[in-house]
Structure 1
Amino acid sequence: MPAEAASLVGFAQQLGEHGLPAFLAALAVAVALAGLAGWLLHWRRGRRSAAEDAPPPTLVRLAAAFAAGFALIVCAASLFAAIARRLGPDNAMGLADQALADAIAQHTPATALRVFALLTHLGDPLVLAVLGVVVAGWLWWKRARLLAIGWLLALGGNAVLNPVLKGVFERTRPLHDHGLAQATGFSFPSGHSSGAMVAGSMLLYVALRMLPARWHAAAAMAAVALVLGIACSRVFLRVHFASDVAAGLLSGLAWAGVCVAGLEFARHRQSRR
């Protein structure tokens, strides 16, 4: 085994042996950073006057949104392609994926697995479909109809995109015999991870648009916890390899970036009329 592959496999084994505390630590850090970002946004808006608190979209803001969205898509697509090029059981990433899955199987308590088995259902297609209808109905009732349509297109588009990508790569799933979760079909990229990323990102965007600024930090923290919790549950339950989850998060992030940029463009056009 090449030295690079051996070091990556060794790291994966160590991570799998301490998978639960590593996940909890990473989740705590990510949620804290999201809360800090939301608090800073609230503080920044609090220093503005009431007239400046919600300025109408301008061409400069629209260009900035598209530039940020384009950079996000390029970065996510590049990382996705890098992962896809290294698929296979005999290369470094494939060996590390298997080493991580084996270590998790040996060192994760059964109680934690049962919790992850409940958590992972939050990313089920039926749950996301119900969430999509409920949020769209609320937005329509609040007369944010453009946002409601964008929200539905984001969830629906990802539901079409992920099976297409799975059919392109046709990667088999890892073996899992614990009976806590069942998954069929191809493995790469993870549909639960991409669905959680799109739903969480769009929920955060909706919250930033519709809720008072004092709720933005809590919304960011909840979105991060939701996405990471669902995504990592797929690895702990061994229905996906870690690279499947990473690719699902990246594809979902790219699609969410496209949707947000499109909504900002439509919002700009609407305000001009």
Structure 2
Amino acid sequence: MDAGKLKMMGRGINLVGRVSPRLAGRLAFTLFTRTRKPEPQTDKERALFAESAPRMAEARRETVGVEGRQVSVHVFPPIGPGNGRRVMFTHGWGSRIALTQGLVTGLREAGFAVYAVDLPGHGDSPGRALHAGIAIATLATVFQRFGPFDAMIGHSFGGYMTVLAAHGALDGKPLSPPRIVLIASPADVRRVLRYFSKGLGLRDHVSSALTAELERATGRPVEASFGPGYLAASGAPTLVLHAAEDKEVGADAARAYAEAGPNVTLTWLDGLGHRRIVNSPEAIDAITKFLG
């Protein structure tokens, strides 16, 4: 959605907020959690989607039930000799596993079996809304059904949810994977909310009402979703990949993760932006070396 439309919607929500801040918060929350149509939206995405079809056909498709939704899990076998290890991968907001076949194929060629999740409202998983509570429940269900895994890997929103799910941030049930890989991932939902509110031009009291709606939906205060805090407490070996010029998730998120402790390795992959990084040879090489 372009900036002009967002500003227009924001003005409407602000008008509602003059009468009922809570209703305005609900409207903003609906917009905040709304997923886009799952079909590829641009010529580049359509080309990537078509190119990935043969690889996607090599996967076994499984489904798991999550809060009344049927979530798709694509199970890819290794290409060539396997190393006996399995990893779980989660894509970013607005993406799908079919658009991440560069990374998936690279992991498979390194001998890994890859369990790749299409989040609700994305790819082959139905739905039009997603928030942290639903995402974490999804990752936990997949982990319990198919795990344990040797590592959990996530890009962008998927990486952020990987950290929270791995450490039981919302449900108190840590998955505790041996290793974690975060690619261009946010670190703090409070920054995400501020960025979203600024984009819509929301007034402060409406932005606060939005935060309250998210807390009601997840059952936890937003402070509980500070990713680096969990890495610091757990000591889990973690690789963070980020491009300094990333315009969608600022480099401050990567630095916050790196400051969690010596268990976190930060590798800058500058020049790859927010989306190209996930399928880049540089990311694949860094991840396969980190996983050993």
Identify whether the pair has TM-score above 0.5, normalized to the shorter chain: no
TM-score by length of 2: 0.25
The structure whose residues are more often strand, as a share, is: 2
* Greater Rg over alpha carbons, structure: 1
TM-score by length of 1: 0.26
Greater relative CO, 1 or 2 (CA 8 Å, sep 6+)? 1
